[in-house]
Amino acid sequence: MKKQLNRTEIIDKTIKYLNSKGISIAVKEDEIVWNYEPHYSKFRIKLYLEKKNWSDEQPNLIKYYVNSHVRGIGRRKNTISDGYCLKVYRTLMWIKDELDKVAEEEKNKIEQKTKYCTELESYYNKLYKRVSISTSKNGEMISINISCTDNNSYVNYNMTYKDNKYYLNNRLENYETPITFNVE
């Protein structure tokens, strides 16, 4: 019969194995944490040790939680048995591939915004207190949505960038009317 590992032995063995595979892991209060930072994104993957049943003495499951929503990660878990370190490594590599897709999309959005919107952002920051810009690309055309807020007004600009020119498609202005009470 094989010896059952306790919580600290499981953590130590997992960290040693993952570090040998090039994944730098940190331990924080009995949880294993992998801080993964591709491009401009920062992800935090936590591995929790859990028990299948309350009657179990030692943890026998490893569950994964990520600070970003990626489909299918919440259901991932590995049982702690022979070769569990390899299973954990493979699961982390699958999660890494999924996070790389999310990070690549975010990188494209940031670079697109930086490339086409820095002048617009500086211009609108002079006019309004808060400016938020988002972009989306559709073929050769880039749609730019600029949301500006001031004391009691909100202005939304929809623009298009094509052939090195900006085109204003829509300007929507909304003023908040103050609520007044008649006191007698």
Query: pLDDT tens digits, residue range 135-163?
Result: 888 888 888 898 988 887 888 888 888 88
pTM of the complete model beyond 0.95: no
- Supply the mean pLDDT for the chain: 81
How does residue 3 score in pLDDT terms, banded at 50, 70 and 90?
A: low
Q: Does 3.30.420.80 match the CATH number of domain 128-175?
A: no
How does residue 1 score in pLDDT terms, banded at 50, 70 and 90?
A: very low
Residue 26, beta-bridge partner list: 33
H runs (alpha helix) in 3-156? 7-20, 84-127
The pLDDT > 90 percentage for the chain reads 2
User: Look-up: residue for tokens 């920051």?
Assistant: 125
